[in-house]
Amino acid sequence: MKSKAQTKPVYLDKSKSVTARINDLLRRMTVAEKAAQLYGRWEPELFKGGVFNEERLSELIGGNVGLGHLCAPTRSYDVRTGVELANKIQRFFLDRCRIKIPVLIHDEVLHGLMAKGATSFPQAIALAASWDPTLMKTVATAIGRETRSRGIVHALTPTINIARDPRCGRTEETYGEDPVLTAAMAVAFVAALQAQGVAATIKHFTANFVGDGGRDSGEIHFSERHLREVYLRAFREVIRRAGPQALMAAYNSLDGVPCSANKWLLTRVLREEFGFKGVVVSDYDSVPHLRDKHKTAATYADAAEQALEAGLDVELPNPTCFAFIPELVRRRKLSAVVLDAAVRRVLELKFWTGIMDRPYFDVDRAVAVTDCAEHRALARKAAQECIVLLKNADNILPLSKSLPSIAVIGPNADTVRLGGYSGSGMKTVSPLEGIKAAVSPDTVVNFAQGCTIRGSATDGIAEAVEAARRSSVAVLFMGNCSGWTFMGDEISEGEDSDRMNLDLMGVQERLIKEVAATGTPTVVVLNAGGVVTMMNWVDSVQAVVHMWYAGEETGSAIADILFGTVNPSAKLPISYPKYTGQLPLYYNQKPSGRRWDYTDLRGEQFLFPFGFGLSYTTFAYTDLTVSPASAPKTGRIKVSVTVENTGKRDGAEVVQLYLTDVYARIARPVKELKKFQKLFLKAGEKKRVTFTLTAEDLAYLDDRWKPVVEPGEFAVLVGGSSASGLTGSFTIR
């Protein structure tokens, strides 16, 4: 018979249920050990030069109490070094700590793992422009493979905030202005990422990017109805349909109550109403912000108590406040029930990821999968589907690959802008490289930078103008730059870089106009994570293409579009205003007591509406039918339309269905996206598309926040954007 000392603890016994193993852990753990599971550590010096400083980590965690979370040490190192570091970290916690619990290593994976050498796919809003959840699923699967292979099992993504004011610099991280499109793309991303064993963290809960003037993390004073109908909707849908393992509370406050200590938000709405079962983590330093910024807590200990009692489980990146948990327990300011519930959720996440039983990772596997040929090809395909053609006067595009000459101009021509939360060190293809590789060997490529993103110097414009004069066509790569402070003076949007004016910065507009004035046909390609206003120059150029931040294969993909190897199929996930002063402006606004447009803009407000995007072919919509014409509240409505490719090229169209509740007791939006489908059609081919509307599509929230379907008339719009298409109607009795 084995002695008690030789008996394996239940929590280490793989044959036992997860619940039994966690119960055993909670019985064994001290308050200090429990507290340690509820915070992270982020100190780059721990891994300086690729060497793991075990003694320093031991000092940081206070001996052998363990740790819940650690920011990935892999960002600055090659794949092999990064995985080896991750394995050494896990061995440290399993060898040195009294309770053998691995640490959750987390990182950003917004559009690819934020690590050296990882594949960089198109930015989040670019992927949304594909309107293709199937593509998103494939991309997220690749991201998940690379992420987990490097020992990172917790991803601080996706961002599902609704971008209703593109002055916010972080618009690039979102899936646009519509909750239905956002939910569809996020569900695909979360499900695919988690299928690879990487826990997704939906963020930022909630309304983080729509403070007055589009100010990131500004105080929010929306009504509860507005929050529920717009900003909470995608969170609810993703929780219901994809089961994310984690959620991040936002920096901002709601009506004066910070999200990180908002019990109504984190407990009543999130857990009780939405049924969220996972871990709630703080945004980096949002718990100390309760004291330092919001001033709702007098001390860091008070901040910890407020956050934990409200329903926040984990403080990231460091325990500025949660280090006081043992003291709060001793003083009976924090209940053991609240503490154990938070620890249980963290332990459940560790079991879900598999690291409790399989904490180490295969270096060779990580090397093989990271930025492999399959993923690079997918990055190019994704970029092709994300690039939006906005203007194409006289069908100047696609260009011939055998042009005598082409001018490639602009501050974004000979570089690759990856956008915020991007990795580094991967092979990239710039627009200039992509064009040179695509054109005939006899085509002369005349390059001139012309200007910088933000600078006021004009001495390069003359060279750019001369390059245009000597060329058959001029392609200008203009726009923005997003990233971190190491980008220096080039940064023009992104985190901590909100905008007051969405015109192109510096002397970019002057460069466009002077090149266009040469008479050389001019194409402008925009590298930007959000909206660019262009009323000062859009009429001077023949074509406009929005490329967003298109990933490592930027140059190859834009050449594919410009020269017609690929027919553009992307659609805008966000509305384009004519002027910054119109903002906030979005397609699904509610009726106004007067008029919607400004008095100096008689007519259509949008320069390009939500859902808009051109193709090198044309599509016709015919024979819209709505059946039945009248149905009970619980009935189903089938909306069918025939879509025909009436041009000479194969292409894809995003068929969009918008619904209007014509008369309702509570004012409803003028239209709302309900369904969409990306449809591939050969030249001359036609297909019948059918959407089914259910009570869920027809309902709105009543005074008790319950969905209700009212009898009355509903109008339907089906077409290629939110602004045009075939119309029909039906009634609910």
Q: Catalytic residue numbers?
A: 283
What is the radius of gyration, based on Cα positions, of the chain? 27
Q: Find tokens 């619980």 and name the residue.
A: 634
Reported for 358-365, long-range contacts at CB under 8 A and 24+ positions apart, including other chains, are 359/87, 359/90, 359/94, 359/102, 360/87, 360/90, 360/91, 360/151, 361/83, 361/86, 361/87, 361/148, 361/149, 361/150, 361/151, 362/83, 362/149, 363/79, 363/80, 363/83, 363/84, 363/87, 365/149
Q: What one-character DSSP code corresponds to residue 565?
A: S
How far CA 605 is from CA of 541, 542, 577, in Å, comes to 21, 22, 7
Q: Can you read off the two tokens belonging to residue 643?
A: 């879509």
Phi, psi at 560, each rounded to 5°: -60, -40
Question: SS in 3 state form for 32-87?
Answer: HHHHHCCEEECCHHHHHHHCCCHHHHHHHCCCCCCCCEEECCCCCCCHHHHHHHHH
Q: Can you read off the two tokens belonging to residue 714?
A: 């509903």
Stretch (H or E) spanning 618 = none
Q: Find tokens 């939360």 and name the residue.
A: 421
Closest CA to 467 of 416, 543, 431, 518: 518
> Three-state DSSP class for 715?
strand
Q: Is 602 exposed, middle or buried (0-12, 13-18, 19+ CB in 10 A)?
A: exposed
> Three-state DSSP class for 540?
helix
Q: Find tokens 């422009």 and name the residue.
A: 129
User: In this structure, which amino acid lies at residue 135?
Assistant: L
Q: What one-character DSSP code corresponds to residue 260?
A: G
Peptide bond preceding 294 in cis form (omega within 30 of 0): no
Q: What is the largest CA-CA distance in the chain?
A: 94
Q: Can you read off the two tokens belonging to residue 614?
A: 């051109």
Q: Can you read off the two tokens belonging to residue 274?
A: 């939405």
Closest CA to 131 of 579, 610, 594, 539: 610
Q: How far is CA 668 from the centre of its chain?
A: 27
Give the list of residues 6+ apart from residue 206 with CB closer than 8 angstroms, or none: 161, 227, 231, 232, 235, 250, 254, 259, 265
Rounded-to-integer distance, Cα 410 and Cα 537, Å: 15
Give the list of residues 6+ apart from residue 540 with CB closer than 8 angstroms, or none: 512, 513, 516, 517, 522
How far CA 719 is from CA of 453, 612, 621, in Å, comes to 37, 10, 7
Give the list of residues 6+ apart from residue 49 with CB closer than 8 angstroms, or none: none
Rounded-to-integer distance, Cα 230 and Cα 223, Å: 11
Q: How far is CA 252 from the centre of its chain?
A: 18
Rounded-to-integer distance, Cα 88 and Cα 106, Å: 16
Rounded-to-integer distance, Cα 545 and Cα 718, Å: 25
Stretch (H or E) spanning 148 = helix 133-149
